[in-house]
């Protein structure tokens, strides 16, 4: 991305949705040779076993209400490590540039003269539905899909998600971090004109052991999720693509060690 004056390079690496088999070759090679690894909470422990002996490990994962390291401190840590090591891997669940704050970290590193390279990963918004047999696009179920975060941190000057507008403008929704606000999200989509019987799904722990899914109508989704104890990490899919589900084509979740799911997200 840039050539900085600090000797080390920071690689912003996508770990994928959880199944280690979905890790890219580039990511695998970097994990094997990095001198320092900074990783998130949703990274399977099996990936940590790929690093060489002597590699520094820094856990900075964020879960709702359980931030192990504030984002500004994570940014500063990456700059510090780049000054000490030639190869630093910042390992993020899914893809670093999709709701992963990778853009913020990359900008901060460049501003501090640190070389950065982005290594894309398989995002959970596509992989988790696939592991439940749900295609996020289908020519018989609409021509658009929107990826959106359901975890709104209302900040001054930052508008919230226009759910009613999305109900009218997108054929399908893939919602990250949406369980905590699911009841409100569903209510807003219904108020925006989405039909109560619109097919919807939740996939928890997608692609790894512990995966489970819920298929319901939009009007019943939040109540059923609460009744069945669904928790994070989870992906919510809303739209006619859910009706195109083909369970027989879904791959088997991987038997890996993942962080325990939390209620909500």
- Residue 224: exposure state from Cβ atoms within 10 A (0-12, 13-18, ≥19): middle
pLDDT of 63 over the 70 cut: no
Task: Answer with the residue of higher pLDDT: 264 or 154.
Answer: 154
Residue 5: predicted pLDDT: 58
Least confident of 40-54, 111-125, 212-226: 40-54
DSSP assigned state of 20: G
Task: Answer with the residue of higher pLDDT: 99 or 159.
Answer: 99
Residue 213: predicted pLDDT: 97
Residue 41: predicted pLDDT: 84
Give the three-state DSSP class for 148. strand
For residue 253, give the nearest of 214, 204, 215, 201 by alpha carbon. Answer: 204
CA 244 to CA 138: how far, in whole Å?
8
Other CB atoms within a 10 A radius of the CB of residue 69 amount to: 16
Tell how far CA 30 is from the center of its chain.
20
**Known active-site residue 52:** no
Going by pLDDT thresholds of 50, 70 and 90, the confidence category of residue 62 is: low
Report yes or no: 218 and 200 within 8 Å, Cβ to Cβ. yes
Which of 35, 62, 171, 212 does the annotation list as catalytic? 62
Residue 26: predicted pLDDT: 98
Tens digits of per-residue pLDDT, 176-232? 999 999 999 999 999 999 999 999 999 999 999 999 999 999 999 999 999 999 999
Please report the DSSP string for 47-61 in residue order.
Answer: HHTTSPTT-EEEE--
Pairing of strands 172-176, 234-239: antiparallel
pLDDT of 256 over the 90 cut: no
Residue 264: predicted pLDDT: 36
Going by pLDDT thresholds of 50, 70 and 90, the confidence category of residue 258 is: low
Going by pLDDT thresholds of 50, 70 and 90, the confidence category of residue 158 is: low
Residue 4: predicted pLDDT: 47
Which of 19, 92, 95, 177 does the annotation list as catalytic? 177
Residue 21: predicted pLDDT: 94
Q: 157: which 2 tokens?
A: 């000057």
**Known active-site residue 40:** yes
pLDDT of 155 over the 80 cut: no
**Known active-site residue 177:** yes
Percent of the chain with pLDDT over 70: 89
CA 223 to CA 242: how far, in whole Å?
18
Report yes or no: 148 and 174 within 8 Å, Cβ to Cβ. yes
- Residue 25: exposure state from Cβ atoms within 10 A (0-12, 13-18, ≥19): exposed
Going by pLDDT thresholds of 50, 70 and 90, the confidence category of residue 61 is: confident
Residue 81: predicted pLDDT: 97
Taken in order of first residue, the domains within the chain and their CATH numbers are 9-122 (3.40.1010.10), 125-263 (3.30.950.10)
Q: Is the preceding peptide bond at 233 cis, omega within 30 degrees of 0?
A: yes
Mean pLDDT of 234-241: 97
Percent of the chain with pLDDT over 90: 82
DSSP assigned state of 251: P
- Residue 76: exposure state from Cβ atoms within 10 A (0-12, 13-18, ≥19): middle
Mean pLDDT of 41-66: 85
Q: Distances in Å between the alpha carbon of 153 and those of 6, 150, 216? A: 33, 9, 27
Task: Answer with the residue of higher pLDDT: 37 or 2.
Answer: 37
Q: Distances in Å between the alpha carbon of 147 and those of 48, 55, 79, 118, 175? A: 29, 35, 30, 20, 6
* Bridge partner list, 208: 254
Reported pTM: 0.90
pLDDT of 263 over the 50 cut: no
Which of 40, 92, 95, 258 does the annotation list as catalytic? 40
Mean pLDDT of 70-85: 95
């Amino acid at each position: 991305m840039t050539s900085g004056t600090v000797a080390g390079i920071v690689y912003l690496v996508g770990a994928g949705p959880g199944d280690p088999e979905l890790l890219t070759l580039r990511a695998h090679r970097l994990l094997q040779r990095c001198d320092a690894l900074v990783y998130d909470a949703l990274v399977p422990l099996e990936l940590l076993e790929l690093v060489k002996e002597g590699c520094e490990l820094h856990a900075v994962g964020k879960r709702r209400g359980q931030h192990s390291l504030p984002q500004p401190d994570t940014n500063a840590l990456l700059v510090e490590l780049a000054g000490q090591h030639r190869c630093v891997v910042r390992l993020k669940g899914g893809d670093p540039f999709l709701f992963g704050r990778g853009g913020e970290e990359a900008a901060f590193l460049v501003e501090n003269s640190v070389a950065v390279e982005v290594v894309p990963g398989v995002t959970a918004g596509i992989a988790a539905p696939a592991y439940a047999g749900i295609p996020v696009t289908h020519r018989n179920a609409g021509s658009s899909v929107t990826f959106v975060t359901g975890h709104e941190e209302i900040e001054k000057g930052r508008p919230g998600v226009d759910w009613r507008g999305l109900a009218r403008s997108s054929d399908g929704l893939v919602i990250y971090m949406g369980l905590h606000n699911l009841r409100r999200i569903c209510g807003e989509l219904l108020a925006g004109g989405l039909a109560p019987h619109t097919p919807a799904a939740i996939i928890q722990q997608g692609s790894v052991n512990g995966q489970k899914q819920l298929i319901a109508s939009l009007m019943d989704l939040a109540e059923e999720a609460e009744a069945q104890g669904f928790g994070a990490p989870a992906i919510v899919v809303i739209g006619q693509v859910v009706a195109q589900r083909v369970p027989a084509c879904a791959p088997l979740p991987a038997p890996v060690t993942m962080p325990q799911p939390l209620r909500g997200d």
